[in-house]
Structure 1
Amino acid sequence: MSGDPIHAELDEQTEAVERQVIEWRHHLHQNPELSNREVDTAKLITDHLTSLNLDEVRTGISGHGVVGVLRGGKPGDRVVALRADIDALPVKEDSGESFASTVVDQDYPGGPFPVAHACGHDGHTAMLLGAATVLAGVREQLPGTVLFVFQPAEEGAPAGESSGAKQMIDEGACNDPAPTMAFGMHLGPLPSGYVGYRVGNQFGASSMVKIVLTGQQVHGSAPWMGIDPMPAAGAITVGVGQLYRQVSAFDPITVTIGHIEDVGRFNIVPETVTLWGTIRCSVENDMADIQKRLTILAEQTAAAYGCTAEVTYLQDVPAVHNLKKWTDAVLPTVRSVVGAEKVFDTPPTLGYDDVSEFVNKYGGVYLMLGAQDGELTDDGTVVPTSGGRGLVPNHNPRFYVDDDALVQGVRLHCNVAYDHLNGTITPAE
């Protein structure tokens, strides 16, 4: 981090907005919206960005995406895109928080679904709103442009719909001016206020799979007169658990069937059964091979039961890859913000995040920001704090975020943004 006096001012202004950031998160947490339905969330974001008198507020991008454009008062060609995702999950919350969600979306495809911010996107949104507030307050000292990118549908749009990071880029969300760096962070089960990073793949590559099995519908009392696709569905669901044994154990993959549906009732052997699942690969080049193996498994298993299988792959998301030159450039600022002892190398995860579309296209870094009751041991292992709330993974009904971590996120956004604009964060060629 540069020795510029503005850093002290950024920290001062961040402290001033901390209470508002927490209030934003609590409000968003109580009012979550699923992917491609982030209407009220986008309105809150738009209203606040507009109140800051930014140079431009772009709305309706990729559905409910919002981009605020802040042009600094000093000359400079660098442009930093700060990104936050804004959608929630179809999860019934069990966090015990006083502001827990009780929302149920009655109209969502496949629903009704309970809705909760079980992945921290409420915190991501609140932190970026805070950063926009702080940076707008020092705009005359900024030598370049900041884009505040609020992205919908990170968790994936419903089948048959589209949205997300790639669509935002394709629709020109970050055009005029184009970023010279993208930056973001994800809240998760690390010690509160600590920052985890990884050179290389921080998150894995992902693909959604849809398998439609077709048999022959018949009365449930006479299954021999038709072809039942249910046993084939069961065999495929069990079989995908063996795919990992067909690839190198040193490059982990997972294949999961998370949802099975049919149209029928208790006494009807259905015509079709649909399986929905996900493939995750730590090495992106393995994806095509795993898709081929899964297709063979589905088609041949279906045939063994007298059925047919139609396999479709949807919503491919590339891995989040932090280049060493960008990580090396960013880490000095990160260490100055949170303390060197709170910055550590983390193992890769097979979770996915389509922030990869921004980082891969424009360069930059994506980090993990700890937000739970944990401690870092001498050997670099994260363990729960004795007497704390535990370490609860994202997408779990009990997932929680420590409000004290949010101020660190705002500071990171602001300081990384400024240090890129002034040339301190520039990757070595």
Structure 2
Amino acid sequence: MTSDATVRPLLAGLDARLPELRALYEDLHAHPELSFQEFRTAGIVAERLRAQGWEVTEGVGRTGVVGVLANGAGPVVLLRADMDALPVKEQTGLPYASTVTGIAPDGTEVPVMHACGHDMHVTCLLGATAQLAAHRDGWHGTVVAVFQPAEEVGGAPAMIEDGFLDRFPRADVCLGQHVAPAPVGFVGTRPGTVMAASDSIRVTLFGRGGHGSTPETAVDPVVMAAAVVMRLQTVVSREIGAAHTAVVTVGSLHSGTKENIIPDTAELRVNMRSTTPAVRERVLAAVERIIRAEAAASGAPKEPEIVPLNSFPVTVNDAAATAVVQSALAEVLGEGRVFTLPQAVTGSEDFGVFGTALGVPSVFWHFGGADPALYAGIDSDALLEDGLPATVPANHSPHFAPVPGPTIPVGVTALLAAAAAWLGKEGG
């Protein structure tokens, strides 16, 4: 049975479901929750899955939700969506824009926004689960729907550590997707490494406090931190070959309380991305070397404290499974809308933790959520070669906002088409 012949029956009635899914998306967007705080979102997910007829387990990996729908003998397919939002103040101007605040792990109050599209992921997977439940005569096997907390900050490992492998049917393939600032209707993926590894650290630099008028009596950690930030820019530009890919970002720097007081400490949070083990080792070593050397050069009274925050490997797509997914997506979306990415994306994902832990193939793809009008005059080849125009808000931007109307059906369809490539196979 071909994927196209299997997925078409699964799409029946989707158009009638879209207003409900649009309302769900707008509600989730207006009520974002930080990592491991997705209680409201998890409650909505669990309630909807139960209403659809799924067997539901809540609180997996703290706030994760897992739905299981067994439908006779056949393959087991894992479909995953992430649920958490980011500490970003929304500036989209949308009528359903978030005005929510939350409490960060350090106890501070922060604005919260779905600036990475996880609300779209939840909406699309709930749309796919509804279609699967409504059309059980169109497929066979078992689907494990995973709604994961805390993407990139330990959510997938937390679910694995909470007994995921033993508590739920073992998947034969893991499938996931992420909305991207590409035009609506286009999908991109690639075999092999599709997303970078990620390592994050918290750095505390130690100075010696004093009066702002007598800096000679102090060791200024603000100047020390500034030197570290600037020198870290040379890791990629001067220590990583042009043929390799790496990113080093200082996303947070905090020090002091008043303009005329030299503080005792400065804290930086640094994120590093890499696509090969050798580059990763080189970046990690260079970052630590620079931090310690700048502290020594500043006469710091104490060695810097470097604490790992989170780390996970590159996301790797199984080549054979990726070919199956690309073919399935092309059959339902159109040949000209499914692209092979020329290189790995420097963003990172912990989705691959599921496939690695289970020892099964996994495939991850990106689907467009941007208004095609933003790409007027830019063809697909130029987009793949040159990247996003500067005028298009990217993920993590306070202006990032997928166009829900056309994006939701594409996301639901992509999940159903990819799953159908396995669920429609005779003999399991």
TM-score, normalised via structure 1 length: 0.90
Assess, with a 3 A threshold, how the Cα gap between structure 1 residues 184 and 97 changes in structure 2: closer, same or farther: same
Q: Which amino acid aligns with 2:403?
A: D
Deviation at 1:110, TM superposition (A): 5.1
Q: Which amino acid aligns with 2:162?
A: E
- Alpha carbons 1:229, 1:271 under 8 Å: kept: yes
Structure 1 stretch displaced more, 220-229 or 233-242: 220-229
For 1:425 and 1:215, locate their aligned partners in 2 and report how far apart those are by CA, in whole Å. 67
- Alpha carbons 1:71, 1:139 under 8 Å: kept: no
For 2:104 and 2:155, locate their aligned partners in 1 and report how far apart those are by CA, in whole Å. 20
Assess, with a 3 A threshold, how the Cα gap between structure 1 residues 337 and 284 changes in structure 2: closer, same or farther: farther
Equivalent residue for 2:348? Answer: 352
Deviation at 1:289, TM superposition (A): 2.0
Matches within 5 A, 1:25-424: 25-54=25-54, 56-72=55-71, 74-76=72-74, 78-105=75-102, 109=106, 111-156=108-153, 163-175=154-166, 176-244=168-236, 245-262=238-255, 264-307=257-300, 308-346=303-341, 347-361=343-357, 362-374=360-372, 375=375, 377=379, 379-381=381-383, 391-403=392-404, 404-423=406-425
Assess, with a 3 A threshold, how the Cα gap between structure 1 residues 107 and 302 changes in structure 2: closer, same or farther: closer
Assess, with a 3 A threshold, how the Cα gap between structure 1 residues 98 and 264 changes in structure 2: closer, same or farther: closer
Deviation at 1:378, TM superposition (A): 5.8
Deviation at 1:205, TM superposition (A): 0.6
SS, match of residue 24 in structure 1: helix
Deviation at 1:291, TM superposition (A): 0.9
- Alpha carbons 2:90, 2:99 under 8 Å: kept: yes
- Alpha carbons 1:147, 1:174 under 8 Å: kept: no
For 1:334 and 1:34, locate their aligned partners in 2 and report how far apart those are by CA, in whole Å. 32
For 2:5 and 2:298, locate their aligned partners in 1 and report how far apart those are by CA, in whole Å. 71
Name the % identity: 33
Q: Give the gaps of 5 or more residues in structure 2.
A: none
For 1:325 and 1:100, locate their aligned partners in 2 and report how far apart those are by CA, in whole Å. 41
Deviation at 1:364, TM superposition (A): 1.8
Q: What does the per-residue CA deviation read over 1:246-288, in whole Å, with 9 as the maximum and x for residues that have no partner?
A: 1211111111111111354333221211111100112244212
Q: Which amino acid aligns with 1:125?
A: V
Deviation at 1:201, TM superposition (A): 1.9
SS, match of residue 351 in structure 1: strand
SS, match of residue 366 in structure 1: strand
For 1:173 and 1:136, locate their aligned partners in 2 and report how far apart those are by CA, in whole Å. 22
For 1:277 and 1:402, locate their aligned partners in 2 and report how far apart those are by CA, in whole Å. 32
Structure 1 stretch displaced more, 79-88 or 261-270: 261-270
Equivalent residue for 1:160? Answer: none
Deviation at 1:382, TM superposition (A): 5.8
Q: Give the gaps of 5 or more residues in structure 1.
A: 157-162
Assess, with a 3 A threshold, how the Cα gap between structure 1 residues 353 and 263 changes in structure 2: closer, same or farther: same
TM-score, normalised via structure 2 length: 0.91
Deviation at 1:138, TM superposition (A): 2.3
Equivalent residue for 1:159? Answer: none
Assess, with a 3 A threshold, how the Cα gap between structure 1 residues 27 and 383 changes in structure 2: closer, same or farther: farther
- Alpha carbons 1:211, 1:274 under 8 Å: kept: yes
Assess, with a 3 A threshold, how the Cα gap between structure 1 residues 383 and 295 changes in structure 2: closer, same or farther: closer
